[in-house]
Structure 1
Amino acid sequence: METSVTGLTFRDATDADVDELVALIESAYRGESSRAGWTTEADILDGQRTDPEGVLEVVKSPDSRLLTAERDGRIVACCQLEHRGDHAYFGMFAVSPTLQGGGFGKAVLAEAERQARERWGAAQMRMTVISVREDLIAWYERRGYRRTGKTTPFPYGDERFGIPRRDDLRFELLVKDLA
């Protein structure tokens, strides 16, 4: 299903999109290219953010979708939505670094919330954010998410999630009621 918001066209990712999506996600979070935007994790993590296998797993999972946002025929943003009973999980969120700050992230998040509510009847959206990412957490709080204080350890030693540059990383659960 395609819908259009703020010049973006939304659709579910396919196998053919995997390489483009990996490049987008990596550019938004890792390395020098990520510094063009404000969502970079380059100061806290080296290594990869994801890989083709991880993206393909989301695309293929029956309970998960990788929502893409296209502009002028190019994927410029994406996010994972996973149906988990009464709630949906939001992750793998990326906006092209050169477009960050232009309202695209807000539009993608709003579309993800709408689809989780309408397609799955999800009463709540949940996500985990690295707890030291205060600016990012504040961005989500301005969009109605609240901190729960519930944390899970960062998977130190599993390079699929990156190579930490500090030893105090953990994930914090953020939630928003959708009803």
Structure 2
Amino acid sequence: MDTATTGLTFRDAEDNDVDLLVALIESAYRGDASRAGWTTEADILEGQRIDSEGVLAVIRSSDSRLLTVERDDTVVACCQLEHRGDHAYFGMFAVSPALQGGGLGKVIIAEAERQARETWGVTEMHMTVISVREDLIAWYERRGYRRTGRTSPFPYGDERFGVPQRDDLCFELLVKPLA
């Protein structure tokens, strides 16, 4: 394992992590800072990706966890896990742009899947990805996720999720069986 993935600790986010996590998520997806990594949505969405209330809601939900990843006492990534009956939902995945491309994401998603299986006994992980994000979908496919063809609408007009720069956005459901 390379140095980008060593020395990681995983913990559940706490209320006092909110501002740091909002900044991390924003840096991974929006604005010029996001262009340092490959997960940027800056060309398809402007504005915010998440707000403090959204992060706090996940932290405080009895069916969710916001898994926070630290290295050397610095938060470097996070992801949401939500228990939904026989499956878990994976979302709010963000890796610091400066650390993207070094294998950290693979380690985090594998740990999230392990924790969802062990904590809730779920048999599948579900996620939604903006359907035009072909590189990101391909990355998830290499991790064992499969496109379902099932889509849900993008929340046009709700600026809490950003300001779309195109009119063809929707979310596609990806699913992975958990052994």
- TM-score class normalised by the smaller sequence: over 0.9
Aligned to 1:176: 176
The question of 1:157 aligning with 2:157 is answered yes
User: Once the 2 structures are TM-superposed, how far is the Cα of residue 127 of structure 1 from its aligned partner?
Assistant: 0.1
Residue 105 of structure 1 deviates from its aligned partner by 0.6
Q: How does 1:74-93 map to 2 (within 5 A)?
A: 74-93=74-93
Over the residues paired in the alignment, what is the CA RMSD in angstroms?
0.7
Query: 1:101 maps to which residue?
Result: 101
Q: What is the deviation of 1:90? A: 0.2
Aligned to 1:61: 61
Q: State the shift of 1:62 in Å.
A: 0.2
- Whether the 8 Å CA contact 1:152–1:172 is kept in 2: the answer is yes
Measured after TM superposition, the shift of residue 7 of structure 1 is 1.9
| Percent identical residues | 81
Instruction: Give the count of matched residue pairs.
Output: 175
Helix, strand or coil: the match of 2:160? helix
| Partner Cα separation in structure 2 for residue 123 and residue 6 of structure 1 | 28
Q: TM-score, normalised by structure 1?
A: 0.97
Structure 2 runs not aligned, ≥5 long: none
Show CA shifts across 1:117-143 (max 9, x none). 000001000000000000000000000
Distance of 1:107 and 1:78 partners within structure 2: 12
Aligned pairs for 1:1-179 (under 5 A) are 6-179=6-179
Give the Cα separation in 2 of the matches to 1:117 and 1:172: 23
Q: Which letter maps to 2:173?
A: L
SS in 2 for 1:88: strand
Moved over 3 A (4+): none
Give the AA of the match of 2:119: R
Aligned letter for 2:93?
Answer: F
Residue identity opposite 1:100 in structure 2 = Q
Q: In the alignment, is the contact (CA less than 8 A) between 1:113 and 1:125 conserved in 2?
A: yes
Instruction: Classify the secondary structure of the residue corresponding to 1:49.
Output: coil
Partner Cα distance (2:148, 2:66) in 1: 25
Q: TM-score, structure 2 length as denominator? A: 0.97
Contact 1:6 1:107 in 2 (8 A): no
Whether contact under 8 Å (1:88, 1:116) holds in the other structure is: yes
Q: Aligned partners of 1:8, 1:149: CA distance in 2, in Å?
A: 35
Q: Is the 8 A contact 1:48 1:160 kept in 2?
A: yes
